[in-house]
Structure 1
Amino acid sequence: MQAPNANVPAPTLQKPQYKSYLLNNFRDIPQMSRLSEQQKFDIEVVGSVLPFKANNFVVEQLIDWDNIPNDPIFVLTFPQRDMLLPEHYDEIAALLKQGADKTIIREAANRIRMQLNPHPAGQIDHNVPVLNGERLHGMQHKYRQTVLFFPSQGQTCHAYCTFCFRWPQFVGMSDFKFASREIDLLIAYLREHPEVTDVLFTGGDPMIMSAKNLASYLEPLIQANLPNLRRIRIGTKALGYWPYKFVSDDDTEDLLDLFRKVSGSGLHLALMAHFNHPRELEPEVVREAIRRIRETGAEIRTQSPVLRHINDDPATWARMWNAQVDLGCIPYYMFVARDTGAQHYFSVPLERAWQIFREAYQQVSGLCRTVRGPSMSANPGKVQLLGVSEAKGEKIFTLRFLQGRDPDWVQRPFFAAYDDKATWLDDLKPAFGEEKFFFEEEMEQLFREKKGASTADDFE
């Protein structure tokens, strides 16, 4: 079977000069002339609390400036007024209008940020692993088979998604930042934990690193010859936000050679690509980037949350999954917007998320149906909403774990009382008058044991 575009000559795709836009220079974007002064001020207010960064590829090739402010890629990358609650917006707006000192604005922004659940799902309290009594702050180990690693040079992105649950990484809140240069500690941890088969490099975006820096992490993993390590994953938005990374950057060939080296070592390499809207798949440079990555033996799996204002429509998802499969990618997850940051702006009720998934699923062939969702990456694990049904005269949600802190929870169906306003697992109550979900007491015990072990380690 031929790869996509196998009979089409590779296009000449010269990269533009990279230019990033932040709060201090976004008004220099020529298209800003299409926005009112109030809209630009809104960007400044919201961008003082939530992170903002865009680049010229996003601005020039992805956003439809004739459809502002409703264009989905504009909403995806540029802060919108309603991403802050009214009282939070008013506080920051007043300070900006007063010309308040930057320190005062930052203090107010930090107070607001702390009310936005900056690290959901137990990322700091429950996911940080320990090796020889030392907490490994640049890693997370939530699920038995998979360790997350945060390379320190990859803790930024080419542009920031306005919904991103990793937003605290980008706003200077150092206590909430994960990062590690310690590849040796990762290897030592993997030797101590033979149950781990997968390492996921995440950030930020590891693909913002140079090929040389990425190799300084991947090559030691290859050379370690760990018998348990089978797969390396790299979470990235670079295919959507700066595809030239894989086509015409100065170190593109070194990067693709590195991918070939990983694949040639016998390890499986998967890029976990974030595409939030089908328009991100349309530029020819994106399609060429996908083709080149696949030629190295790497696999591309795709994922996104369902997001109000951006992709909360079944036809959009069906179009996106079809385009991804046509290009040789594998649809992987439809997530639910996490309970952090501007969740109130992006979230849809769980029942609506399920309807979007179900109706989109009905519109695509079996090759697209590798996707799973809608899934909540919550504290106990990845919980999929299977649907709305009725039992014992009660309307209920049926759910199951796709991943769990305890593997025994996986694939066990459970039931929640129907709630048409619920947007997250924590909003749900057990069905049939039960006091707790089946996993809650065991999860509490797991956390008590982990806290006790951590405390004991502190005194060794």
Structure 2
Amino acid sequence: MAYPENITNLNGISQMPQADRERLRPVMEKFDFLSNEYYLSLIDWDDPDDPIRRVIVPCSEELEQWGHLDPSNEAKYSVMQGVQHKYESTAVFLASEACGGYCRFCFRKRLFIHPEQRNFLTDYDSAFAYVRDHKEINNVLITGGDGLMLPTDRLERIVAGLRAIDHVRIIRIGTKLMAYNPFRVLNDPELIRLVRQYSLPDRRMYFMLHFNHPREITSQSIEACDKLLRAGAVLCNQTPMLRGVNDKPEVLGELFNKLSYIGVPPYYVFLCRPTVGNLPFAVPVEEAHQIYQEARNMCSGLGKRAKLTMSHATGKIEVLASTSDQIIFRYHRAAIPEQSGEVVICRKNPEAYWFDDYQEIMEVVSLSDGWLAE
């Protein structure tokens, strides 16, 4: 297949009955739709609950009132247009305004709903200067949007600029194109040349992939991943846990296993952020933890490396364990460095979707207390 054609209107999906298009018109008026012929071909249109359909095709439940447009308070950590610096060693470049498809559960949909809120990186020189001046930054994530939606020459300008900064050891590119459009890799030898040139033995390039369901791992996506691996990149995968997509242990376990088979370590399973429009995809914290644990039991150690976390405004909070009446969290990374590693023990609340829903904190234990040191 050549580069697949984008589809921006439900009228472009011949498999959808007209009645469904009319029913979803109010959703389309609020949240845009974008996909392509390749990804839509993965859908079983005879199954109204098809998980790939759920990832990309609007549903009426998106209009239910829930959440915020910026639930992780990214605005607080924006140090200049298109640059975030929340964690001490990591800078984030919102470098791409485009995606290969619009995930229905997107946590940055505010950037597409309100054009005036777009905060994408345009001044590369100022961004490089900021990173140079902050020597604690040892890795930079290029995302957006989707980092691989950048034309290769623009992507290389950013990568080359970062490679010229000695203390930047890792360059990461956040992308869902291995699922949405693997032809971005398969049809661009210049991208493979870029990876060979800039992913060095002591300074690797990482691609943070976004497979949500095992059926997204096609022969084409496997070939694209293999090309990146052979060029010297390191690949990892992260996915939110999504109602109706991967919220069954056997599905999540299969995803973990398939990823481990193709050399893409599972990295994070995120709790769905409480973003406007995302309620139909959200799974409560304690239910998600149970699903996650059962899925891990189906895998070897290579498949069970993902951590169940939430990207909270205060940091990445890992769901660590539970007892009959307690749920135990740990700050995997914290915006306040001294808080990293801190354990928070809460009274269980089966209706909690987010850390803020836990009203009864029973105990807080920091690394300085000794027994938490790893």
- TM-score, length basis structure 2: 0.94
In the alignment, structure 1 residue 83 sits paired with structure 2 residue 22? no
Determine the C-alpha separation between the residues in 1 that align with 2:33 and 2:67: 16
Q: Is the 8 A contact 1:118 1:168 kept in 2?
A: yes
Determine the C-alpha separation between the residues in 2 that align with 1:176 and 1:426: 25
Q: Is the 8 A contact 1:236 1:271 kept in 2?
A: yes
Kindly state the Cα deviation for residue 267 of structure 1 after the two structures are TM-superposed. Answer: 2.0
Residue in 1 aligned with 2:261?
326
CA deviations 1:401-435 (Å, max 9, x no partner) are 11101222222211112111000011112334x8x
Which structure 2 residues correspond to residues 356-435 of structure 1 after superposition, within 5 A?
356-373=291-308, 375-390=309-324, 395-432=325-362
Name which one, 1 or 2, has greater alpha-carbon Rg: 1
Q: Is the 8 A contact 2:346 2:360 kept in 1?
A: yes
Q: 1:166 aligns with which of 108, 113, 118?
A: 108
State the number of aligned residues.
366
Determine the C-alpha separation between the residues in 1 that align with 2:23 and 2:8: 14
Percent identity among equivalent residues? 31
Q: 2:119 aligns with which of 178, 186, 207?
A: 178
Determine the C-alpha separation between the residues in 1 that align with 2:91 and 2:82: 11
Kindly state the Cα deviation for residue 29 of structure 1 after the two structures are TM-superposed. Answer: 2.2
In the alignment, structure 1 residue 127 sits paired with structure 2 residue 70? no
Q: 2:83 aligns with which of 121, 125, 139?
A: 139
Q: 2:38 aligns with which of 53, 57, 62?
A: 57
Q: Which runs of 5+ in 2 are unaligned?
A: 367-374
CA deviations 1:168-205 (Å, max 9, x no partner) are 1222x134322012221122111211110010001100
SS at match of 2:74: coil
Determine the C-alpha separation between the residues in 1 that align with 2:153 and 2:361: 53
Q: Which has the higher helix share?
A: 1
Residue in 2 aligned with 1:263?
199
SS at match of 1:414: strand
Kindly state the Cα deviation for residue 359 of structure 1 after the two structures are TM-superposed. Answer: 0.4
Which structure 2 residues correspond to residues 20-31 of structure 1 after superposition, within 5 A?
20-23=6-9, 26-31=10-15
Determine the C-alpha separation between the residues in 1 that align with 2:13 and 2:288: 35
Residue in 2 aligned with 1:300?
235
Letter in 2 for 1:229: V
In the alignment, structure 1 residue 236 sits paired with structure 2 residue 175? yes
Q: 2:156 aligns with which of 203, 215, 220?
A: 215
Please identify, of 203-212 and 229-238, the stretch whose mean Cα deviation from structure 2 is larger.
203-212
Determine the C-alpha separation between the residues in 1 that align with 2:110 and 2:32: 8
Q: Is the 8 A contact 2:104 2:278 kept in 1?
A: no
Kindly state the Cα deviation for residue 364 of structure 1 after the two structures are TM-superposed. Answer: 0.4
Residue in 1 aligned with 2:371?
none
Kindly state the Cα deviation for residue 208 of structure 1 after the two structures are TM-superposed. Answer: 1.2
Letter in 1 for 2:345: F
SS at match of 2:316: strand
Q: Is the 8 A contact 2:342 2:365 kept in 1?
A: no
Q: Is the 8 A contact 1:388 1:397 kept in 2?
A: yes
Q: Is the 8 A contact 1:351 1:387 kept in 2?
A: no
Q: Which runs of 5+ in 1 are unaligned?
A: 1-14, 89-114, 130-135, 440-460
- TM-score, length basis structure 1: 0.77
Kindly state the Cα deviation for residue 43 of structure 1 after the two structures are TM-superposed. Answer: 2.6
Alignment root-mean-square deviation, CA: 1.7
Determine the C-alpha separation between the residues in 2 that align with 1:234 and 1:425: 28
Kindly state the Cα deviation for residue 17 of structure 1 after the two structures are TM-superposed. Answer: 4.9
CA deviations 1:43-67 (Å, max 9, x no partner) are 321121122111111112x111121
Determine the C-alpha separation between the residues in 1 that align with 2:215 and 2:21: 24
Please identify, of 181-190 and 74-83, the stretch whose mean Cα deviation from structure 2 is larger.
181-190
Relative contact order (C-alpha < 8 Å, sep 6+): which is higher? 2
Kindly state the Cα deviation for residue 271 of structure 1 after the two structures are TM-superposed. Answer: 0.3
